[in-house]
Amino acid sequence: MSLPRIDVLFSEPVIARRVEKLAKEIAAMTMPRLLVIPVLKGSFIFAADLIRSMHRAGVEPEIDFLMLASYHEDTRSSGRIDVLRDIATDVSDRGVLLIDDILESGRTLHFAKELMARRGARQVKTAVLLDKPHRRAQDLEADFVGFKCPDCFVVGYGMDMAHRYRELPFIGVIKDPAD
């Protein structure tokens, strides 16, 4: 089996500049007792950078983690969402910012938004690193978007393909070895 080639789609400095801007946009919005919730696992590096940039922009959030599964070993959505690890924080009457890596079909974020709303969050906003608008199944747009992403499978900066490549510091596209 030949190794796939990974082309850089968004480089480290390009990501860093965008994340800093995004944090300023988020800081400009006032939310009651802000709770930031990264949706694991794919958002962990983005969230770590974004939250530190938000700190530089003067935001003092609480942070909890939600782990959802919508994908299996392949690169297609299964359609079903499972809560693998729930938050331990009461969201009632609070402002919640959900952070995810990619918005594609919208099923994951729709599920997470509904969950927070059902639990009584006063306001639920969403920040995603990448928007892949080509396969939307839910009528949902993120409030804050890092980059528009072409309709291809990306890895790195926290995002995986079958549990690999999360450690790459850039966002890359896997090239078919046959190409």
Site string for ligand IMP, 53-72 (x = CB under 6 A): -----------------xx-
42 touches Mg ion (CB under 5 A)? yes
Residues sharing a CB contact under 8 Å with residue 48, sequence separation 6 or more, in sequence order: none
CA 83 from chain centre, in angstroms, equals 16
Q: Which of residues 91-120 bind ligand IMP (CB under 6 A)?
A: 100-108
Q: Which two three-digit tokens encode residue 27?
A: 């800081």
22 binds, options ligand IMP, Mg ion, none, Cβ within 5 to 8 A by partner type: none
> How far lies 177's CA from each of 5, 9, 59, in Å?
7, 17, 44
- SS3 (DSSP) at 168: coil
28/163 with CB nearer ligand IMP: 163
168 touches ligand IMP (CB under 6 A)? no
Q: Which of residues 26-45 bind ligand IMP (CB under 6 A)?
A: 42
